[in-house]
A and B are shown apart, each in its own frame.
Chain A
Amino acid sequence: DAKTTQPNSMESNEEEPVHLPCNHSTISGTDYIHWYRQLPSQGPEYVIHGLTSNVNNRMASLAIAEDRKSSTLILHRATLRDAAVYYCILGLFGNEKLTFGTGTRLTIIP
């Protein structure tokens, strides 16, 4: 499986935008870029996914580099509820297993 690299931790102030980076230099042409997050004492939840183009949904935006070797998850206005571990995962989309890396622990400062 292609590997992703994320910072271990990040901090951001409440109500400010957050940019969470992910490097995936060995991504294959069929790999989607998935983002999940895990809030304390909960199972992971889906955030967003994309293949080549930037994507937006109600939770976040995903910016994908033109060469697809990196991507950035953007939370437009962080709230305390966004404090979680964010995982960037590569793979097919759908009925496929997910290979979790170590993720980025995001702390939101009130």
Chain B
Amino acid sequence: SAVISQKPSRDICQRGTSLTIQCQVDSQVTMMFWYRQQPGQSLTLIATANQGSEATYESGFVIDKFPISRPNLTFSTLTVSNLSPEDSSIYLCSVGGAQQPQHFGDGTRLSIL
């Protein structure tokens, strides 16, 4: 099964700044997914990132706020821009595969001052 490393594991940021979260996988994968988990809530999909194409965003999430890069088959970044207290959440990446379950990183815990 894929091993996923997310960085940073946690951060505290000032309002109005941005944070870029990295997701590294130990094998090549076609699709990577980015989720948000607000305090005490379940996971919500932000976007699906395919290598070589623009990410596909879910309703309620826009590229200007959550730009995603996918430069190769083992790496992706999610940037959370213009941070506000409402962005305080855990951000998780996951990877799947044909006839494979999804594997998740342990998430990035983001707090906004």
Contact = CB atoms under 8 A, between A and B. Distances in A.
Interface stretch (B11-19, B61-69, B70-78, B103-111): B103-111
Nearest to B50: A95
Interface string A23-65: 0000000000010100001111110010000000000000000
Contacts of A102: 42
B94 A95 contact: no
A100 B42 contact: yes
Contact of B45 (A34, A95, A99): A99
Residue of A44, A93, A96, A101 most packed against chain B (CB within 10 A): A44
Contact of A87 (B42, B48, B96, B99): B42
**Which range contains the number of B residues in contact with the other chain?**
20 to 34
Contacts of B106: 41-43
Interface string A88-102: 000001111111111
Contact of A103 (B30, B42, B102): B42
Nearest to B101: A46
A103 B97 CA distance: 24
A45 B98 contact: no
16 contacts: A36-B102, A41-B106, A43-B92, A43-B94, A44-B92, A44-B102, A49-B101, A93-B99, A94-B99, A95-B30, A95-B98, A98-B43, A98-B45, A99-B45, A100-B35, A103-B42
